[in-house]
Amino acid sequence: MDPDAVARLGATLLDALASVHQAGVCHGDIKPENLLYSASDVVPVHLIDFGLAGGMGGTAAWAAPEQLSGGGASEVADVYSAGLVLWACLHGGLPFGSLSPEEGLARRCCDVPAVSAGPDWLRKLVQQLLAVDPDQRPLAADAADRFAAQGVPLSAVTGPLIERRAQVAYVQRPALARGLDRWLERGGRIGLIGPSGSGRTRELDRVAVELAARGRSCLRVPADAG
């Protein structure tokens, strides 16, 4: 696939996984068969089939190293599998394709496959998603922010989707939720700050959705606007 299309797919997939993980669910079986992709759609990819969510199992060819060793679903295992999907989209197949399937799986448990297609930032990000050590992988929200920082648009949550979500939209972080409730009661402003890569983009988007669901609006001011 064209690297620009892969970047847009990756941004949407990691953004979707961030929402899934924030809801306390791990998918456990990220693979092409569980992605509905359309390059012409406003939302290019939809994540389906949560039959293995939170449990053991998964598909070995797309599993994280720790899952191949008997571990269950986790947020960072989902991130690895998403990275593997992006690697396959960039290269046309799974890593270490010259080896037997068993040898390829064993190699992935020891080595990060080199990424030879796409811009430098995308190659580095995919390699980080494919870190053998789970602690070295970014969370889905952080990865989605990385895509957004490169100008790859995250899928906008507007219009009919907000109407469908209006009864369930929420902000999970307690301090942020309390601040939002106070703002709705008496007006004023909310400031949301955090270190680079902390998932601020997703939290700001979540606040905007919550406000829209409650019939309110918000103004987002860039951090460098003074």
Given a contact cutoff of 8 angstroms between Cβ atoms, the answer to whether 56 and 33 are in contact is no
Question: From CA 142, how far away is CA 135, in angstroms rounded?
Answer: 13
Question: From CA 213, how far away is CA 163, in angstroms rounded?
Answer: 7
User: Residue 173 burial by CB count (10 A; 0-12/13-18/19+): exposed, middle or buried?
Assistant: middle
Given a contact cutoff of 8 angstroms between Cβ atoms, the answer to whether 35 and 13 are in contact is yes
The dihedral region occupied by 118, where left means phi > 0, alpha psi between -120 and 50, and beta the remainder, is left
Catalytic pick from 29, 78, 142, 145?
A: 29
| Whole-Å CA distances, 196 to 155, 193, 200, 217 | 21, 9, 8, 25
202: three-class secondary structure by DSSP: helix
Whether 133 is catalytic is no
DSSP state of 20: H
Give the contacts of 127 (CB within 8 A, at least 6 positions apart): 112, 113, 114, 115
Given a contact cutoff of 8 angstroms between Cβ atoms, the answer to whether 74 and 95 are in contact is no
Residues with catalytic roles: 29
